[in-house]
Homo-oligomer: A and B are copies of this chain.
Amino acid sequence: VKKSKAETELTRARIVAAASNEVRRRGLAEANIAEVMRAAGLTHGGFYRHFENRDQLFLEGLRHAAAASGEVLAERAATGGAAHALEGYLSPHHRDAETPRCPYAALGSELARYPDLKPEAWRGIERQIATLSEQIGGGEDAADRATLLFAIMVGALTLSRLADDPTVSDRILSVAKRQGLKLTQPQIAPDA
C-alpha cells in the first residue's frame, strides 16, 4: 500500500520520535526495532523502507532525543535563566519521567561504548553547556562553570534515580540544585 510522499515523510518522523523514546527508556542495547515500529503504529516489516538498519535508527533516535532535550533546556534558560533551567532538570518530575528526557543521563556511560554515537552525543552535550554558559553571569570562566554545572546535573540526576529512599533522592536533587545555583552566579571570591 504505497503512501504519498508527504505521508511517508511523516511516518518516518514518527518512527524516529518513537526510537528517541525507546532508546531513552530501554538503553541502546535493549531498544528494539519491533517495539519502535509498534509505537509508531506500524509492523516491523516496513522498517527497511525507511532505514538502512538498526544502527541508523538509533543514531537518528539519539539525535532526536538530543535535539528535544536541548530545546527544553534552551527554552527554560531563555524564559528564566540558568537557574530556571537547572530547577527543571533537577526536579523530581524530571527524575520520575516515564521516558527520561535527558539522553546523557539516561544513556550516560553507554554512549561511550558506541564509537558511532559518541560524537553525536558529545555535540549535544556541548550545546547544553553552551546554553548554560550563555546564561550564567561572569567572565572567562563561564564555560568552565557551565561545564561543571552540567556535570553536576547529570551526576546528581543519575544518582537520584538509583537512591531507593525518595527522601534521600529528593535531597540529592536539592543539594545539587543549591550548588548549581551558586555556579550560575559570577564567583565572588577569586578562585584560590
Could you say which of B29, B147, B152, B172 contacts A171, with CB atoms under 8 Å apart?
Answer: B147
Check if A151 sits within 8 Å of B172, measured CB to CB.
yes
**Chain B: minimal CB distance from A150 (Å):** 7
Check if B162 sits within 8 Å of A148, measured CB to CB.
no
**Chain B: minimal CB distance from A16 (Å):** 21
* Nearest 8 CB-CB pairings of A with B: A155-B155, A29-B29, A151-B155, A108-B108, A151-B156, A112-B161, A154-B155, A108-B109
Give this chain's copy count.
2
What are some 15 contacts across the A-B interface (CB < 8 A)? A27-B113, A104-B159, A104-B162, A106-B109, A108-B158, A109-B158, A109-B161, A118-B164, A119-B164, A122-B164, A125-B163, A147-B175, A151-B176, A152-B152, A154-B155
Look across to chain B and name the residue whose beta carbon is closest to the beta carbon of A183.
Answer: B179
